[in-house]
Structures are given as structure tokens and as C-alpha cells.
Structure 1
Amino acid sequence: MDALVVGEALVDLVERRGSTVAYPGGSAANAAVALARLGREVRLWTAYGDDEYGAALGRHLAAAGVAPAADPRVLPRTPSATATIAPSGAASYRFDVAWTLGDPPPAADTRFVHVCSWGPVLEPGASRVRELLASTRATVTYDVNVRPAVTGAGPELTAAVERTARLARLVKASDEDLEVLYPGLPLSEAAARLGALGPVAVVVTQGAAGATWFGSEKVAVGAQPVVVADTIGAGDTFGAALLDALWDDDLATISRERIAAALTHAVRAAAVTVSRPGADPPYAAELMPTHNS
């Protein structure tokens, strides 16, 4: 069985110390590459242009072993995100994007359908994403990863995120995502808002404070100490590694020990990504001591 990842692919133009370097990126593309590097069969349903940046994205995905779910060359130009790196390694973004999708991918024996970021909230592509989620028999997982610079913020964005959360079995969000969706609401209450829509669990990442699983019980793990190069792709890697760790688990009956092990695996994978420039997730061999523990 494979994973079908759905969402954006783009080029990250990283501004650092007066120079700009182009890296393949995008939430869904990063997650797909991370899953493939961890040894999973992955297809990606995305969109980019038939141009130089699009060709670079295609080579990057192919080199990682990510298969296209459908022809991605459906946009007039490949989206880009200009990332400015702060001294702490945190990235802020300016986007040049469009989002639509071509024909839906053919049916396959799929374990997870993993949808990311603006895929299910930015039209006209969002409608096609939600149609897929409503019809699939696979386990749907959703990495919220809001981008207010692209989608805006406020009640319309929150409603779109909640429509997608209703279709998901597992939702992952950062503390920053929850603050955009539910300003001023304590983290646990914001997670409960999403959890009440139907997911088995909501996983919240908090950077250096680690990650917490909010489900029938609460499970928290600490962060992995690391020297930060930048935070690009960290959340995408975390989401992919979480799926890798949960691949053979039943989310409805998973034990507390398995949850903790899955969160630890995801935190370790994300720590590798933040230690390297750009979205450069780890290979399975780099996580071998506790891989799939």
C-alpha cells in the first residue's frame, strides 16, 4: 500500500546573508519526499508550471522516489515562496502562487491520503481536494499548516479548515496554526475545537516545546536538542514521519506507548530537517536506532 499526498509544490527562494538560493519545496512536496526517504511508496497529486522551476521540482521528486499521481504541469508558472531567515533560523515567507489541479489520480491501494496546507482551502483546487477526501476509503490525515499570506485569515479560513478536519482521522497543527484559527484561545481548547469535528486525534507541534497528541488521552513528548539551520520543512517532515511510525497502527485502538513512540520518531525526524538548510528531510538510515520502534 502507498500514501497519496495532496497539496502544493513550489520553489523556496531562501534569502540568507545577502544571497538567494532556490530549493525545491512546498508543504505537500516536502512531506512526500520525507515519506519516500523513510522507505514508503508515495504518490503526489500537485500542480506546477511547465517551466524551469517545474522541471527542477520534477527531478527532485523523482530522485526521492516520489511518483506523480497525475500530470502536475497544469499551472501557467511554478509557484514560489521567498523565505527570509531570521538569526534564530525561523523563516518568514512571501508567496507567488496559484492553485488548481488536473484530473484526479486513478484509484489505488492506498494506506493514507495526506493533505497539506492550502490544498483543501484555496480555490479552485480546494474543491477537488475535498471531493477526493470525501470519496476515499484510505485513512485521511490533514496537516493544517495555514498560510495567511496566501489564503488570508479569519472566519472563512477557519471554516475551510474545519470542513477538511471533518473528513480526517488525524489532524496535525502547530501552535501558530491554532493561534491563527482561534486567536486567544488556549492551545488545549483550540485542539479540542478541531478534535470535536471528528478526528481520532489532533497532534500539536510547539517547536522547541515538543509535540502533544490530543485524543482519548493526552500524550506529550519533548523536542530533540539541535542547532537550527532553518525551520523550512520541519512541520512537513514531522507529519510525514508521524505517518511512517503509524503505518501499521489502528488509530482507534492505538496504545499510549505507540503514540509516544510515534511522536518521538516524528520529533527526531523534524530535528534532522531543521539542522540542515532548506527542506532536506532525513533518510530512514539516519533514524535507525528507533525507526518504527
Structure 2
Amino acid sequence: MTDAQPRVLVVGEALVDVVPDRDGTPRDLPGGSPANVAIALGRLGRDVRLVTLLGDDDRGALVRAWLEASGVAVLAQRTGSGRTSSAVVTLDDAGAASYAFDLDWDLPAVPDEECDVLHVGSIATVLEPGADAVLQAFRTHRGRALLSLDPNARPAITPDRAGPVARVEELVGLADVVKVSDEDLHWLHPDDDPVATATRWAGRGPGLVVVTRGADGAVAVRPDGTVLEVPGVPVAVADTVGAGDTFSGVLVDALLGLGVGGAGAGDALRALSDRDVLDAVSTAAIGAAINVSRPGADPPTRAELRAALGGPAAGAE
């Protein structure tokens, strides 16, 4: 890595989740998958910046304050509409979330800033016109930073599968580490087993592909085809909002703690032992479990993660 305090650049949407309260009354909660990843890293004490779009409205001010309270530097450009994007959240009986979006993603470009990790994901990677800027940033930083991808599937935004699948496949070929849920893979490649897709992806460039499976844990696949199983973490679920994003943020943090970042990130990732990979993925699963135990996207702090692990957290410095 380039210095004692690695720099993380996250690119993607920040928005307001309109979530029903216990009595059904809607309330605005800041969110957005990449923003949640940035929050997770900020709460773990990482030097993290978020490139995003925000409106000049009360919701934009709410999102900015939320990010900055967790130590995230906000590099926000103004939305074309002047309105901050939103997602109306519906929770089922098990607390699983579904979303209906009002989204503006016309990001013209990503600042060419030096970083040790570049993380992208979710709607920002597939929704035009901003998706092209995200892809260009990934290309520009290849070989210069750890490239992290979390390709959330959002059928409500991109109901035509062909375009998003092609873009995700292109990003996977550039990425060093990919975290993806089994539900996302079922949508992207419905005829293929999720682990089989992850194995194919791991053979195309990434040093690590992690498939999350909710309560059933996660599977980590390495380029040589090694498949590592991580069991689920028992937890009383409040809701699943931000679970995968927390997983991604904690995983990036754990990899940084193992020396994976900067120009040599790809080689460093491949050089990790299976035990190192299992520890990193297990730590990410515990971080996600903390998040789902409380309402909304609410990733753990370093102290909370350390306490849950029963000692110094993986990635702590």
C-alpha cells in the first residue's frame, strides 16, 4: 500500500430510503448501496471519500450530514434535476427489503484521484449516463488500486437484463475482488448455479469472488477454483437494509488490514492463504450480522466489530 493510512474511493449513488416505521408511517433514512459501503468504512476509521450526486434540497443535506458524521468525505456533484434520489422501501414479514426508485444518475466523470482502493457497485454501474463514468474510473485505476465491485441487481431500474449483464461482466473482468449475493446472481444468470458463476468469474481476473447467501453464510471462490465455505451468523433480524453493503465495506477493511491495496493489490490478494481469506470473509459476515440486528443501514464501528469478534478485529491497525 502507498502509505500508513490507505485511501479508499467509493463511487456510486447516495439517496434517501423511504422506510415504513413500525406503525407504517414513512420516514426518510439516508442510504444507497455505495454510500452504505462508505459509511461502513468510515465507521471503521478508514480514510474514505464518496463520489456521488446529491440534490440541493433537504434530503441532500440529510444525506451529506449522515455521511460526514461517520467520517466520509463527500465529493458530491449536483443532480441534473436538483432533487436528491430516493428509494421507497417495502419490508416483508421476515424483514427483507425491496425497493422502488426515483433515481438521477448523470455523473459526468469521476475525479482522477490517487487511492489504494476503488469500490463501485449497485445502480451506479449500470444506469446511464453515469455508468460510463464509473466504468472509465475502473479502467483508469486498474493496476493502481484494489478494484472492488458489488454488482447489486436492481430489476426495477433495469428490467432488461441484457445491458446490465454485459456491463457487469465487463466490470468483473477488471475487478480484483467481487462481492455478490446469490439473489443478484440468480437475476444476472438465472440458468446457472451461483457458485458456478462465481467460479467462472474468478477465472476471468478477480483474485476473490464472494457470494453471500443471507442466513446461510457465504462462499469465497479463488482463481484456482478453491471454494471456501463460511457459515451463517445467527442473529435476530430487524431488517436486511444495508447488509450486503456492510459486508462489502468490512471485507475491504479486512483486506486492507492484510496488506492488500495499492498498485500491488492483485498480486497481494492472490498471495493470501486460504486461512487469511476465510478470516476476512468471516469478519465481513459478522459485520453484516451486526447491521441486520438493528433497523436500517447501520454498520458497526471498529469497537463494535472488535467486541463481536471477541478481540482485535481483522483489519484493525
What is the Cα-based RMSD across aligned positions, in Å? 1.3
Distance change >3 Å, CA 225–CA 99, structure 1 → 2? same
Give the alignment of 1:171-210 within 5 angstroms: 171-210=178-217
Q: Offset at 1:197?
A: 2.8
Structure 2: gaps spanning 5 or more residues: 1-5, 261-267
Post-superposition Cα deviations, 1:137-171, rounded to whole Å, max 9, x if no partner, equal 11111001111111224222211110111111111
2:228 partner letter:
V
Question: What is the CA–CA distance in structure 1 between the aligned matches of 2:238 and 2:271, rounded to whole Å?
Answer: 38
- TM-score between both structures, scaled by the size of structure 2: 0.89
In the alignment, does 2:292 pair up with 1:274?
yes
Structure 1 segments (4+ residues) deviating >3 Å: none
Residue 72 of structure 1 contacts residue 102 of structure 1 at CA under 8 Å; is this kept in 2? no
Alignment partners' CA distance in 1, 2:179 and 2:288: 14
Moved more, 244-253 or 5-14: 244-253
Structure 2 residue 46 is the aligned partner of structure 1 residue 63 = no
Q: 1:74–1:102: 8 Å Cα contact kept in structure 2?
A: no
Quote the Cα distance in structure 2 between the aligned partners of 1:170 and 1:132. Answer: 16
- One-letter identity of the residue aligned with 1:84: T
Q: Give distance in 1, aligned partners of 2:160 and 2:276.
A: 35
Unaligned runs of 5+ in 1: none
Task: Please tell me the residue identity of whatever aligns with 1:15.
Answer: P
Query: How far apart are 1:71 and its partner, in Å?
Result: 3.3
1:255 Cα deviation after fit: 0.5
Give the equivalent residue in structure 1 for 2:13: 8
1:100-115 equivalences in 2 (<5 Å): 100-108=106-114, 110-115=115-120
- Find out whether 1:117 has 2:122 as its counterpart: yes
Secondary structure of the equivalent of 2:303? helix
- The within-5 A match list for 1:248-267 is 248-249=259-260, 250-267=268-285
1:290 Cα offset (Å)? 4.6
Are the counterparts in 2 of residues 153 and 180 from structure 1 also a CA contact under 8 Å? Answer: no
1:220 aligned counterpart, secondary structure: strand
Percentage of identical aligned residues:
46
Question: Alpha-carbon deviation of 1:102?
Answer: 4.3
In the other structure, the counterpart of 1:72 is 77
Query: Does the alignment pair 1:144 with 2:185?
Result: no
CA positional deviation for 1:106 = 4.3
